Structure 1
C-alpha cells in the first residue's frame, strides 16, 4: 500500500509537466518568439508596436508573452536567433524573414524540433512553415506600376529602387513591375539601384543620377522609405514632374501624397497583419487548427483617397 501511495503521488506531481508539453505550461504563460529581420525599419517597428498593443489590450491574451529579436539584416544571425528560440522552448514562432532562401534553414529547424513557425509580412520558399500571414507582394508591384503608367507616358524612362536583393518583397514587387511593362514595350528601365529599404541611400542614389544628367520620367521605389529619399533628392535639386511612388503607406508617405508631393503609395495593413499573426501564433500554441494562408490585401493610396488612411 505504501508503494502504491508513493506511485500515485509521483504521478500527480508529473501531471502539470505532461499538460504543458513543449514550452511553457499550457495553463501558464504562452511564450511566442518573434524574429524580425531589422527593427530600424519603420514598417517593422509598427508591426511590433501593434502586436504588443493587441496582446496588452485583449484580456484573453493576458498569459501571452512576446519575445522580440532583431536580426539586424543578417541572415546568419536570424537563423541563429530562431535556433535560440527553439532552445528556449517557446510555444510558437513568428518570423519576418530577411531572405526568402537564406532563412529556409530556420523554418526547417523549427519544423524538425516540433515548434510551429509562421511567417509574417515576408515569406521564404520553404513549404515547412505552418502558415503565412501577410500580403501578396506581386500585387503591390502591379498596383504601383499600373498607377505609374496612368501618370507617365508609354515610353517612360524608369528608375527602380530595390530593397535587399533576395527578399521576397524585393523579388515580387519587381516582378509586378516587369509584368505591367509587358503592356508598354517602349518603356525602359534606365537605372536600378539597391538601396536596402533605406531613405538616405535612396536619396544619395537619385542625387547621383540627377547630377549625372541621366533622363528619367519615373521612380519605382519598392518601399516608401526609398520613395521618400527619391522625393527629397528631386525636390532638393528642383527636379519636377517625375512620377514617384512606393509601398507601405508609412506616415511620411501619406502626408506627402496628401500634399501632392508623392504620387502614390500602396497600403500594407500593419494592424491587420500584426493582430492576425498573434491570433495564429496563439492558436498554434494551444494546438488548434489554422489556415495555411491569411491574405491581407494591398490597397492603392492616391491623393483622392488618402484621407481614409491617415
Structure 2
C-alpha cells in the first residue's frame, strides 16, 4: 500500500481507537435479539466521482467485511434536499436502527434527523455536517484545514502576491462553506493577492473545465488557482492547455487525474485528501453505537496533504482511471471495475 495512504489509514485507526468500549451486553442481547443491525444508508449524490467512490466503498465494505453484522437499506437523494428529507422519513418509517447520511444542506435536514433520534434511531453524519446537534456521531475531516492548507501553499508559491481565481464546490454543503472559510482566513493575510473571481463548479471535472475556460477568456492574467478539489483541478488544467496558456500553481485533492497531470506536466501542485475510507469508519461507528459503546460525537480527522512531484508520483495509480481517489481502502481490481 502506498506510503501516503498508509499514513491516512493509521490516522483512521488512531481516531477510531478513541471510541470508548462500554461494558455490558449489546443492545441485541439485552432485547433478546440476534438479528443484524439495520442501517439506512442515504446515497446523497452520484454526480461526481468522489461521491461515487464513497458509495461504492460503503457497499463493498458491507458486502465483504460486515455482511454478517449489518443489513442495509439504500436510498438515493440526488443532491436534492427535499428528496433527502423524504428518504430519511422513509427510513424512519422502516424502523431502521441507524441512519448514515451526508447532509445536502446545513439546516434543512435538522428537524428530520431529530425526529429519527426521538424514535431511538442512531444518526451518523458522513463527510458533511449540520448547524445543530441532531446526530449521534459525525465522521469527516477538518474542512477548514483542508481549505487553508491549499491556500497557504498557493500564497507561498506566489510569494504573497498575484491574481488568482477560486473554484468552489456545491453551495449549501458544509464541506464547500468550510473549505472556503479556511481559504479566506489565509488569503486575508495577503493583501497583495487579488481574487479575480470565485465560482461554483460542483467539484466536477466538466463543469470546472467550462468555468475555467470562461475565466481565461475574461482575465488575461491568472497567476494561480485555488480549487476546493474534487475533479475540478484536472478540468482547470485542461482548460489552460486548451487556451494555450502556461500552467500556473493550482491546488487540488487526491484525485488520480490531478496527480497524473501534475506529474506528466511537471506542474507544481498540492493534493489534500478527504478519504473515502471514512465510510468504513461510519459502519464501525454504527456497530459501536448499537453495542452500547460510548462513541465520540465529533470525529474530525486531520487532513493529509502532500506536494512535490516525487510525493505525487508515489501516491497515484498510473494504471487506473483519472476518476479514482487515492485515499481509499478499495482493492485496485475493484477500483478498476468501478471506473471502467
Q: TM-score range by the shorter chain?
A: 0.7 to 0.9
Count of aligned residue pairs for this structure pair: 287
Matches within 5 A, 1:17-28: 26-28=33-35
Give structure 2 stretches of 5+ with no counterpart. 1-27, 317-340
Match of 1:290 in 2: 295
Pick 1 or 2: higher relative contact order, CA cutoff 8 A, min separation 6. Answer: 2
Work out which of the residue numbers 234, 240, 250 in structure 2 matches 1:244: 250
- Contact 1:36-1:97 within 8 A present in 2 as well: no
Matches within 5 A, 1:228-267: 228-247=234-253, 249-259=254-264, 260-261=266-267, 263-267=269-273
Aligned to 2:231, the other structure's residue is in SS state helix
- Contact 1:224-1:253 within 8 A present in 2 as well: no
Work out which of the residue numbers 79, 89, 95 in structure 1 matches 2:95: 89
Matches within 5 A, 1:123-272: 123-247=129-253, 249-259=254-264, 260-261=266-267, 263-271=269-277
| CA deviation vs aligned residue, 1:154-189 (integer Å, no higher than 9, x gap) | 222111111111211111111111111122111111
Structure 2 Cα separation of the partners of residues 213 and 39 of structure 1: 33
TM-score (normalizing by structure 1): 0.86
Match of 1:39 in 2: 46
Structure 2 Cα separation of the partners of residues 241 and 151 of structure 1: 13
CA shift, 1:214, in A, is 4.0
Computed over aligned residues only, the root mean square deviation of the Cα atoms, in angstroms, reads: 2.0
- Contact 1:31-1:64 within 8 A present in 2 as well: yes
CA shift, 1:61, in A, is 4.5
TM-score (normalizing by structure 2): 0.79
| CA deviation vs aligned residue, 1:7-58 (integer Å, no higher than 9, x gap) | xxxxxxxxxxx9796xxx8411222111132022211222222222223333
Distance change >3 Å, CA 232–CA 177, structure 1 → 2: same
Structure 1 Cα separation of the partners of residues 219 and 259 of structure 2: 30
- Contact 2:241-2:247 within 8 A present in 1 as well: no
Structure 2 Cα separation of the partners of residues 56 and 204 of structure 1: 38
| CA deviation vs aligned residue, 1:224-273 (integer Å, no higher than 9, x gap) | 311111111111111114122223x12222222332346122111222x1
Structure 1 Cα separation of the partners of residues 141 and 74 of structure 2: 22
- Contact 2:166-2:227 within 8 A present in 1 as well: yes
Give structure 1 stretches of 5+ with no counterpart. 1-17
Aligned to 1:93, the other structure's residue is in SS state strand
